Structure 1
């Protein structure tokens, strides 16, 4: 993810699993101010990982791009500060 930043994902919908197109990412929990500590997760060679804070199951899906998720609402976009 060099030069693009680490993708961040949320689980506002409360789904049991989120499919993502990366193995290194941050879980935010829910959209702030209801978030948990933003935790960096690295699946390594594995294809799934559970967030230790919110218990969301993340599954790697090679058909998705780094900035995509299923459900699509799980992609968290931070606002740039001027």
Structure 2
């Protein structure tokens, strides 16, 4: 079992690039109900990657934590099960 959660990021503001502190993450497009299929993205050794669904450019920034983004507010948290 994984020892950490994979962060999910959304681009509701429609910005061209989101700086994040994780190299492995999920892009959801926009927050539900306007999301696209949740796609796992892995930058590997690269510093940026483009989502194949929404074309958002994600750029890694080492000064951010895995659950932080610039602009702020792009992290999407999965609702807890009832």
For Structure 1 versus Structure 2, the TM-score category normalised by the shorter chain is: over 0.9
Instruction: Spell out the pairing of 1:3-82 with structure 2 (5 A cutoff).
Output: 3-82=3-82
Q: Name segments (4+ residues, structure 1) moved above 2 Å.
A: none
State the SS of the aligned residue for 2:64.
coil
Q: Bigger shift: 66-75 or 51-60?
A: 66-75
Q: Quote the Cα distance in structure 1 between the aligned partners of 2:53 and 2:79.
A: 23
Q: CA deviation at 1:4?
A: 2.6
Once the two structures are superposed, residues 18-77 of structure 1 have per-residue CA deviations (whole angstroms, 9 ceiling, x without a partner) of: 000010000000001100000000000000000000000000000000110011111101
Please list every run of 5 or more consecutive structure 2 residues that lacks an aligned counterpart in the other structure.
none
Using the alignment, how far apart are the partners of 1:79 and 1:33 within structure 2?
13
SS at match of 1:55: coil
Q: Gaps spanning 5+ residues in structure 1: where?
A: none
How many angstroms does 1:3 deviate by? 2.4
